Amino acid sequence: MPHIIDIKPDPISIDPVAVDAFSLEDNTFTAAEQSFASVEVGDSKQPDDFYPQVKIMRWDNEVNFSVRLVTGAPPVAVSTPDDVAAIQATTATRIAGNLKPGGIIVKQPPVDPTPAVALVDDKVQWVTPAVEAHFYQVGDGLEGDSFEFEIVLNEQPSTNVISMTLQTKGLDFFYQSPLTLEEIKRGASRPENVVGSYAVYHKTMAGDFSALGGKNYLAGKAFHIFRPRIEDATGNWVWGELNIDEKAGLLTVTIPQDFLDKAVYPVRHAAGLEFGYHTVGGTEEASYSTVPSLCRFLFNGSGGTLASIVLYCKNYPGYTTSHRPAFYADNAGVVGDRLAKVDSGGTNLGTDYAWVETPLIYPGLVTSYYWVGKATGNYGIVKYDAGGIGQAQAGNLTTPWPNPVTGCYYGNDVIYSQFATYAPAATGQATAKRFGGVPYVGLNKGVW
C-alpha cells in the first residue's frame, strides 16, 4: 500500500533562482507577483499536505476560482528539489528503455505513486512516475501575461480525459464557440486558442469605483481560460477539448485518443490550463461606420448622469477614425428613442489598442434598460467576448445614429470591452451589478 510522507523538512530546500517566484507556508505556495491576480498553489485550508491545486483570486478575493487534479496519488508534504529530480530521472530512464516502434511505451508494472513536491526553476512541481503537475507564471504577472497549470503525461494514461474538481465564487463562465457567419461578415476574427475557451467575468460587478473609494472592475473580466494545446516529445500537437461544468464542480480536458495512441512520451500540456491575465475580450471585430452595433444593459440606480463611454479600440491599419457612441432608450427589449449621440468629431483612435473615452451626456437616468451604441467611423477595431444578453446589429443606417433606429438584427449576445462613466447624483446609491450576463450599471461606471 502506498505510504504517505508526513515529514516537513526544516529548513526546506528551495532553488535560489526560484525564491522570488513563490513564497511557502504550510505546504502552500503563493505567487510573489500579485499585481493582476493573487495565485495560491496547494490548499491553505488543508495545510498538513500539498495538493495539486491552483486558486486564482481577483479583487481582493471577492471572486475566485480553484481546480485540483483528480489523482489516485496520496497527499504529501513539500519536500526538496532533489526528491523531485530523483523521480524524474528514474522516469526518464523508464521512458527511454521501454519503447516499442513508434515511440509508444510498453505497458509498465505498477510503480509507487507517492509524489514529491518542490519549487524548481520558478515552477512548483508535483511529480509521480506516471504524471506530473507544474505550476508557473508566464511573464511578469501583469495584464497580458498568464499563469499555467500544466499536466505532463510520462506514459499513456488509461483514459483520454483529464479531470479536475472545480470550486468557484462569484464568477460567470462564457464558452467561446466558433464564429457565426454573421460575426465573420461584420469583420470578426477569433484566434484558434480562443475558440473552445472560456471568458470568465465577475458575476455581479462591473465598472470603476475608485473615485468613490471602491474597486476598479473595468469590463468585469476576471481572466481567460484558453483552449489547451497538447504536445508530445517530437513536437506533434493537437487541441484538447475544454469543458467546465459548474453544477458538477468539474473541469475536464478531453484529448483525442488517436493522438495518445501514437504519441511519443512524455506528453506536455496534457491539460495545459493557461489562465490569461486579460481584462479585454479575446475576439477582434473590425467596426464599420455603416454597420454599428448596440448593446442592452440595465441601469439600477435612483438618478444619475451619464458622463462618457469608454471603448477598447484602435485604428484599422492605414486608416484614421474616431470613437462616436450613442445612447438609446429601451422599448420592450428593442432599441427605442435616441437620448444622446456623438455623430461627428468624437475621440480619435490610435494605432495601438487603448481605452478611448468620449464624453456623452445624458442627465435623466432612471432604473431602466438602455442601449449603448458603438461606432468608430470608417474603420476601427474593437474587442469582445461571447456572452451576456442583448445585442443588436443596426446594419441599415444611412446616417449616424438616427432616431429611431429601424431594421435591427437582434442576436449574437456579446460583451464588448466597453464601459460608461457616471456623474454621481445628489441622491441615489451607486451600484453596478451584472445579472445573467447583463450589467446593472450604477452611478459611476458600468460595462457592456
pLDDT for res 444: 28
Q: Which residues contact 441 (CB under 8 A, 6 or more apart)?
A: 206, 207, 297, 298, 299, 300, 301, 420, 422, 432, 447
Strand-pair category, 293-299 with 438-441: parallel
- Cα 439 to chain center, whole Å? 18
Averaged pLDDT of the chain? 79
Confidence of residue 439 (pLDDT cuts 50, 70, 90): very low
- The whole-number average pLDDT for the span 85-109 is 64
Higher pLDDT, 110 or 350: 350
pLDDT for res 432: 36
- The whole-number average pLDDT for the span 350-357 is 93
Global pTM? 0.82
pLDDT for res 4: 27
> How far apart (Å, rounded) are the C-alpha atoms in residues 183 and 7?
57
Neighbours of 396 (CB within 10 A): 13
Q: What is the pLDDT of residues 67-94, one digit of tens each?
A: 999 988 877 888 778 878 888 888 887 7
Confidence of residue 138 (pLDDT cuts 50, 70, 90): confident
Q: What is the pLDDT of residues 394-433, one digit of tens each?
A: 555 555 788 888 777 666 678 888 887 777 654 333 333 3
pLDDT for res 166: 95
Q: Give me the residue spans of the domains in the chain.
A: 16-276, 284-447
Q: What is the pLDDT of residues 322-346, one digit of tens each?
A: 888 999 998 888 889 999 998 778 8
Q: What is the pLDDT of residues 185-214, one digit of tens each?
A: 878 899 999 999 999 998 877 666 665 566
Higher pLDDT, 31 or 301: 31
pLDDT for res 5: 27
Q: Helices in 48-120 by DSSP H: which ranges?
A: 81-97
Cα dihedral value 303, 307, 313, 314, nearest 10:
170
> How far apart (Å, rounded) are the C-alpha atoms in residues 150 and 230?
10
pLDDT for res 141: 61
Q: Would you list the DSSP string of 278-326? A: -SS-SEEEEEETTS-EEEEEEE-SSS-EEEEEEEEEEEPTT---EE--E
Would you give the end-to-end CA distance of the chain in angstroms?
55
Q: What is the pLDDT of residues 236-256, one digit of tens each?
A: 999 999 999 999 999 999 999
pLDDT for res 200: 95
